[in-house]
Structure 1
Amino acid sequence: MLVTIAPLRLWTIGHGTRSSQEFLDALRGQGIPQLIDVRAHPGSRANPQFGKAALESALGAGGVAYDHWPALGGRRRGLGDASPNVAWQHPSFRAFADYMMTDEFWKAVDELLLLARERPTVIMCSETLWWRCHRRLIADAASARSAEVLHIMKPGIIAPHVLSPPARVVGDRVVYTTPG
């Protein structure tokens, strides 16, 4: 008897300026019942439908569970000039890469992937374009742990994750240092 094991899969999405309905449709289109909010501060003045309480309510009404995970939130303080993650020129990405060197980050990634094994899970931040968001680095980390990562661009439009050009997988972690 041939036994097949479903791949470990994680989705990402940025809420952007979508309506609540379009956002829910994008999740439903992928059969996703679990959303993990990876915003450092889960609110939005420009798009109040994505404030924590409003989003949690709308998702719940649509059959999607909501949770906020600050351990995967962006807007980190980096190591400044002491950062070994010189492959990132953008200071926000470099600071998040510095945070990725901590046990706290990798513990959160492992918990996220355990959840993703149990049920389809999406991580969400505000930036629509995944390559301009710290979801990119979280996706690199999940890929280093053998997850297939898919970015939801809009309902029915999915982009498979490709490891960021400055990333190097070392063991089961990803680093953004220069080889040497």
Structure 2
Amino acid sequence: MPRVIAYTVGYGGRQPQDFLDVLEQHGIETVVDVRLRPDRTRLRSFVRANEIGKGIERLLAERRMAYVSLIELGNPFMDDDDWRPRYERLMASAGEVLTEKLFDIPGPLCLMCAERRVETCHRWFIAEYLVQHHGFAIQHIP
């Protein structure tokens, strides 16, 4: 069975057009937003707006990319000092349920969060889960 290739990216510190260029260079068709609160960000281009045609959905539509928000993959522990082990335990115990929608999303897909460095973001744990349990090949976009 061929491995599913997926990417991860953080938009922090990127200008909207640079963000789109990076996604396009990697052939991304669907961006999967794994933020717990996609409706809250200081960067209006990356907000999940209440109206179609605004925010991140409008931005991605400029390059014919789809947008899917999976808040269930968000990090409910992000304000805690011990968020890493807690999120890792969450993925270990509920990963199948939390990731099941990913398998119906057209790819190549890219998990997106705010933190640019994957080492400081919960999307690393999602990616590791997909590698270990479903044979995904993951590329983290710097």
Tell me the TM-score range normalised by the shorter chain: 0.7 to 0.9
How many Å separate the matches in 2 of 1:119 and 1:13?
15
How many Å separate the matches in 1 of 2:98 and 2:63?
26
Residue 29 of structure 2 is matched in structure 1 by 33
**Alpha-carbon distance change, 30 to 6 in structure 1, aligned in 2, over 3 angstroms:** farther
CA offsets, 1:31-58, max 9 Å, x none?
111011000111311x222111211111
Deviation at 1:110, TM superposition (A): 3.3
Bigger CA radius of gyration: 1
Q: Which amino acid aligns with 2:6?
A: L
The reply to whether residue 95 of structure 1 matches residue 86 of structure 2 is yes
Structure 2: state its 5+ residue gaps. 50-54
Q: Which amino acid aligns with 2:141?
A: I
What pairs with 1:1-180 in structure 2 (closer than 5 Å)?
A: 6-42=2-38, 43-45=40-42, 47-53=43-49, 54-76=55-77, 91-103=82-94, 105-112=95-102, 114-115=103-104, 118-144=106-132, 145-153=134-142
How many Å separate the matches in 1 of 2:113 and 2:76?
12
Count of matched residue positions in the alignment of Structure 1 and Structure 2: 134
Residues 56 and 65, structure 1, Cα contact 8 Å, conserved in 2: yes
Deviation at 1:76, TM superposition (A): 3.1
Indicate the structure with greater helix content: 2
Q: Which amino acid aligns with 2:98?
A: A
How many Å separate the matches in 2 of 1:143 and 1:14?
19
How many Å separate the matches in 2 of 1:134 and 1:8?
20
3-state secondary structure, aligned to 1:140: helix
How many Å separate the matches in 2 of 1:120 and 1:72?
18
Aligned-pair identity (%) = 28
Q: Superposition RMSD on alpha carbons, in Å?
A: 2.0
How many Å separate the matches in 2 of 1:126 and 1:137?
15
Deviation at 1:6, TM superposition (A): 4.2
How many Å separate the matches in 2 of 1:28 and 1:6?
23
CA offsets, 1:114-158, max 9 Å, x none?
246x420001000000011001111110111211110111xxxxx
